[in-house]
Amino acid sequence: MQKRPLQPHIQERRCGILLHITSLPGPYGIGDIGPRAREFLKFLKGAGQGYWQFLPLSPTSPAYGHSPYMSPSAFAGNPLLISIEDLLAEGLLEEEDVGTPPEFSKYLVDFATVEPFKMDLLKKAFLRAKAARTPIKGAEEFLQKEKWVMDHALFMAIKKRYQEAPWYEWPKELAKRDGDALSAMAEEMRDEVLFHAFCQYLFETQWQRLKKEAEALGIRLFGDMPIYVSPDSVDVWANQAAFDLDPETLRPSFVAGVPPDYFSKTGQRWGNPLYRWNIGRSSNPTVYQWWRARFLRLRRLVHVIRIDHFRGFEAYWKVPSREKTAINGKWVKGPGISFFRRMGEALMGLEIVAEDLGTITPEVEKLRKSLGFPGMKVLQFAFDSNEKNPYLPHNFKDPNCVVYTGTHDNSTTVGWYLDPKVSERSKARAKRYANSDGSRIHWDFIRMAYSSVARLAIIPMQDCLGFGDDCRMNKPSTSKGNWRWRLAPEFITNTLKEALLDEARFYNRVPG
């Protein structure tokens, strides 16, 4: 067991762009991990960037508005990110399979149209792979080699059988994972199970190609790890002992959230099941095994991860599941530094960033610093108080941090500046800080980020382009209209690339 603090990983000044995969341009209604992603890597290289940050790669569900933070699997890749263009190039699809696609918007993802269209094409690719035999052999080997693939494939097949009902509403023998019942179902639905394994095999193959290209260009892939998982997920179904569930209903006994604060009088009741960190006075081995496997999986996919809601490892808000709001919850101590010590080699080689936004206690700060993980600084939060605001660049006491103009949960910087709910005093302070008239506020914020002592500066693509809130990715506490923004190809220009390179070079952030 490692006893010394984990060391900070980001050692040199670098910069990067935040753009989720679904937001990439492309001909089939949604960004994917094919040619356009590889072209974007080259754009990043030419723009002097060293990091590409994106949101979780997991599958999404219409039941949760296609949020990547409420996925049916923390291990699987989203089939909607599989490149149709690459499947055509490899002969797993033919042009007649695609036919005449729907008229997709290049500015927004229409999941209701994209999902059936792409899943139908993946089924055609599956049938052609079965006939050719060689491609399907790789999927069969992947299914046998990786336990999570079998769990995921069987989970998705059974959900289809029961009209997408949550797993805790399935017949008891399936919900409680009776071995004979699962074996019988796996045999009965053999083709459906193999199809989902085939999708994961395609995702893995295409993703590793993208990762190899990123490494050749010196770009580090920066992923996202939500601390909690969806109650209706294969993670909970296949690892029930790891979660605090009612033994009769199999639903969460308590759920995650945050307490009431300035932004919400009733707090936020997220509804995710909580981890059963201990059994009596002993640590629960199941939950640690699951987390270790999760880190190992992410280590194969990315070079860097942001741990969402990092403070939950120090203490978390525990809400009885019967409560309609988060008011009547309580703080419970988390596993703390011992958790990360026990992850051991699963963390080796990963850069880890702690999402430490919101109300952070000295205990959370102590945990983050003892692990050497950089925290986050968001410039949109810097101008709403006084000169001691911790998000102001002159108050970045430790360069071991990541500075953002904003995140996927914020307004764009132009949207922030134009928002009548943002005080004129805050806007005036921002302009004074930047010595600016505000006409190019997004570039003012980029220069603030680049010029700061933070070792890593990440800029959302919307801020690179000066887009308003019609291009915002997510509005927390809303369930409709999120996760849809797409970057039209005409906005990825040499002018933008040269401008970013010039700033990155001026502030000593260009790799090598």
pLDDT in tens, 231-256: 999 999 999 999 999 999 999 999 99
pLDDT for residue 1: 39
The answer as to whether 511 is a domain residue is no
71 has a pLDDT exceeding 60: yes
d(CA 337, CA 314): 8
Stretch 6-23: mean pLDDT, rounded? Answer: 85
Token pair of 61 as six digits: 């569900």
When pLDDT is cut at 50, 70 and 90, the band that residue 7 belongs to is: very low
Local structure of residue 480 (DSSP, 8 states) = S
CATH code of the domain in which 330 resides: 3.20.20.80
Residue range 163-181, pLDDT digits in tens: 999 999 999 999 999 999 9
Q: Domain residues for 227?
A: 14-506
Structure tokens at 264: 């919400």
Confirm whether 1 is domain-assigned: no
Residue 4 falls inside a structural domain: no
Question: Per-residue pLDDT for 298 more than 70?
Answer: yes
Residue 512 in any domain: the answer is no
C-alpha Rg value of the chain to the nearest Å:
23
Q: In this structure, is residue 2 part of a structural domain?
A: no
Give me the percent of the chain exceeding a pLDDT of 90.
92
For residue 83, the number of C-alpha atoms closer than 13 Å in the C-beta half-sphere is 25
pLDDT over threshold 80, residue 409: yes
What is this structure's pTM? 0.96
CB 136 within 8 A of CB 198: yes
Burial class (CB in 10 A: 0-12, 13-18, 19+), 72: buried
Rounded Cα–Cα distance for residues 174 and 187 (Å)? 14
pLDDT for position 281:
87
Q: Residue 195 falls within a domain, yes or no?
A: yes
User: Backbone phi, then psi, for 378, in 5-degree steps?
Assistant: -115, 120
| pLDDT confidence bin for 108, thresholds 50/70/90 | very high
Query: How much is the pLDDT for 9?
Result: 65
Q: What is the mean pLDDT of the chain?
A: 95
pLDDT band at 2 (very low <50, low <70, confident <90, very high): very low
183/494 Cα distance (integer angstroms)? 56
Angle 92-95-97 from CA coordinates, rounded to 5°: 70
Question: Domains in the chain: how many in total?
Answer: 1
Average pLDDT of the segment spanning 270-286:
95
151 domain residue, yes or no: yes
The full length of the chain comes to: 512
Q: Tens of pLDDT along 304-324?
A: 999 999 999 999 999 999 999
Lowest-confidence region among 183-197, 285-299, 472-486, 497-511: 472-486
pLDDT for the residue numbered 11: 80
Report the catalytic residues. Answer: 308, 355, 409
* Residue 105 covered by a domain: yes
C-alpha–C-alpha distance, residues 329 and 460, integer Å = 34
